Amino acid sequence: MATSFAMRLTFIFLLFSFSAPLVCSNLIDSECLTVPSSIFLTSVKSTIEEIRKVTSIVSQFGNDLGDSRLSNAINDCLDLLDFSADELSLTLAATQNPNGKDNSTGNRRSDLRTWLSAALGNQDTCMDGFDGTNSFIKKLVAGSLEQVTSLIGDVLSMVRQVPTSGRNGKKLKKVNYPSWMKAGNRHLLQAPASGVSVDVVVAADGTGNFTRVTDAVLAAPDYGTRRYVIYVKRGVYNENVEIKKKKWNLMMIGDGMDVTVISGNRSFIDGWTTFRSATFAVAGKGFIARDMTFENTAGPQKHQAVALRSDSDLSAFYRCAIRGYQDTLYAHSLRQFYRECRITGTVDFIFGNGAVVFQNCQILAKKALPDQKNSITAQGRKDPNQNTGFSIQFSNISADSDLSIALVNSTPTYLGRPWKQYSRTVIMQSYMSSAIRPEGWLEWQGNFALDTLYYGEYMNYGPSAGLGSRVKWPGFHAINQSAQAINFTVAQFIDGNMWLPSTGVTFTAGLVV
């Protein structure tokens, strides 16, 4: 374990070995940090060491526990602690060599806050996996994780918040792409699949290089610095696909939404953790998917059943369908962008703690179980210093075909509810059908988080867009000023102008198309 960690850390440092112009490039204390950089570095190093200690403790339990749910929870924790170790290592490398070659946006302050925000949330996800287990292991792991969470929270608080710049939201004429991202990929997104130069082909009928998506992913190079394109031909692929974090810059192209389908049926009821239930899970940075469907067919009676989970920083999903019921899309961590996607579900069907923008998407509520209420979002921001949240813009929020007008009242549907203390979701310039309840938002439990959450609405329209009957919580905001709304745009919220142009995905940077 220690050798593997050291090798990863060495690799990360190599990425910072060449100079490049960066925002906050010298990590001047007054600009980037609330403490001297020497104190920041010491804190990061001690946190990494603590993560290594906890990983060693958790790894001793192994898989021979006689309880599949408990084994899955342990495996989740090991993966999530590994995520945290990498995110802290990126932070350390960027701080020790601030003029080095960057493997993110180049906006150093924003990158630091992104990595640390993700690291802070991983431990909560680890503990979530123990739901439904009764074991002393849960208590032992919880005690160890508390110290890690506290240390990461302290480190995150040392990074200054990114100030709003008041940009007008127009696309920048000149873009300094991250050094690991290559410009000129627009043709990969706009050309028909038949006209794209691909690296491998997946075909269920045997006419490609592989018949399984998983095999194509495993064949991709590790830490790739160029776009590696996998073309998945039409068909239904019944498999659970996981793209590990060392698989960088993968792009997956299908033959169309509802034509190329990756399908699974894992669920909480059947013994999987929510994290591990995903039909398709991606952690390698810079992932792009186009013209595909990711679905979980477990059904509403199986409760948590994820179709897509993303921990891919600077990832984009274009013209994709994400289908399920409870917990359909797990936007777990880091910066993500969804454009012209169709997302369907029932309870908390867009959830997680990434920094995410949904643009020009169809977000459709389905018919839930008789005793359930639909909640479209359940954003999981747990600390006010995290730069995470969901922004939904230029989208259509309506009922799916199984929740017809006649049945809307049988399944009350809400825009969201606060999964964590500082839950943050903003809906802007979107259509809201009559499927949405007049009060708009739903409590999680009693008064929990109602004064600390941030739920905002700006210039929406449609039968349920009126704010007159909205909740009166302290944390709800009827946004009236464009200067406030612009903070949740692609350019501001996920640094989109600094990386999305290189992906080729269509996007609107600000409030004006």
What are the CA-CA distances from residue 259 to residues 120, 312, 420 (Å)? Answer: 38, 24, 36
Three-state DSSP at 420 gives coil
**How far is Cα 355 from Cα 313, in angstroms, rounded to an integer?**
9
Q: What share of the chain is helix, strand, coil (3-state, %, to 5)?
A: 30, 20, 45
- Residue 370: what are its φ and ψ, rounded to 5°? -55, -35
Among 369, 384, 339, 347, smallest CA distance to 475 is for 384
Element (H, E) at 137: helix 136-157
End-to-end CA distance of the chain: 49
Both structure tokens of 308: 């897509």
The total of other beta-carbon atoms located within 10 Å of residue 62's CB is 10
Among 431, 469, 474, smallest CA distance to 455 is for 474
Both structure tokens of 104: 């993110």
Three-state DSSP at 427 gives strand
Amino acid at 135: S
**How far is Cα 493 from Cα 326, in angstroms, rounded to an integer?**
27
Residues 6+ apart with CB under 8 A from 141: 57, 58, 77, 126, 127, 130
Given the residues 111, 348, 383, 495, the one annotated as active site: 348
Q: Is 348 one of the annotated active-site residues of the chain?
A: yes
Q: Which residue has the tokens 């990983």?
A: 55
Contact 328, 351 (CB under 8 A): no
Element (H, E) at 56: helix 37-59
Angle (CA) 244 391 109, round 5°: 65
Q: Which residue has the tokens 């906050």?
A: 24
Both structure tokens of 173: 């004429």
Neighbour-count burial for 391-423, b at 16+ CB within 10 Å, e otherwise: bbbbbebbbbeebeeeebeebbbbbbbbbbbbb
Amino acid at 511: L
| Residues annotated as part of the active site | 348
